Amino acid sequence: MSADPSLILDGREIPFVPGQTILQAADDAGVYIPRLCDKPGLEPFGSCRVCVVRANGRTVSSCTYPASLGMVVESETPELQAMRKVLLEMLFVEGNHFCMSCEKSGHCELQALGYRFGITAPQFEYQFPHREVDASHPDILIDHNRCILCARCVRTSRDLDGKEVFGFVGRGPHKRLAASTGSRLKDTNADVTDRAIDACPVGALLRKRVGFAVPVGQRPYDTVPIGAPEPVQEARR
């Protein structure tokens, strides 16, 4: 049987299975490429652009671009890292991310990427938009202050939960997440067990009455940076 085809990622040969994207091939090889809108189990979306790489000299989103034999991919160049940092900074200033009091702190992918890229103060001015919180549902709330429009909840609700609880309304700077009914979350068939709630990478979708059940300091990114290799478990003697 012939060996799997491979590509070159930052000078390293990476095997891939035909049909995989660059991001999937990198994940299988244990190489982390930053991302926000991508999530295993969902169709690639390519909206956040944080996973952007250069493939054969062309700038592409690694979550949507298919891997090909002999492809040369660059991910960790100073130019690409600077581009990702700017994108993250823009997400921070375009919303109201109260990290110190957010229930998702320590489990927020945007916050964790901010730490990874050393963002202490964005270079852009904060916009401080006026955004509401939809707490009409008995068990779930939408905090529009933190939504980054990644569509993970929209896609998870549709593709994994078999529902259409969430959608987008408006265009450009006025685009926002909304209940698919066009009214309030309480008027949908959203349930506290829906996987769409867990799909949110930030603190925009939260379950009520479980805030801070895991203490700050004991959450995933409090102890292990995002993208860090999984710890190797020592075999018992």
Q: Which CATH architecture has domain 95-209?
A: 2-Layer Sandwich (3.30)
Of 1-5, 74-78, 181-185, 224-228, which range is least confident? 1-5
Outline which parts of the chain fall under CATH 3.30.70.20.
Answer: 95-209
* Model pLDDT for residues 72-126, shown as the tens digit of each residue: 999 999 999 999 999 999 999 999 998 988 999 999 999 999 999 999 989 999 9
Does the global pTM surpass 0.85? yes
Task: Please calculate the CA angle 166-171-172 and round it to the nearest 5 degrees.
Answer: 120
CATH code, residues 6-76: 3.10.20.740
64, with CB counted inside 10 A (0-12, 13-18, 19+), is middle
Contact indicator for 9, 21 with CB cutoff of 8 Å: no
Distance CA 88, CA 204 (A): 16
* Model pLDDT for residues 182-220, shown as the tens digit of each residue: 779 999 999 999 999 999 999 999 999 998 899 989 999
Outline which parts of the chain fall under CATH 3.10.20.740.
Answer: 6-76
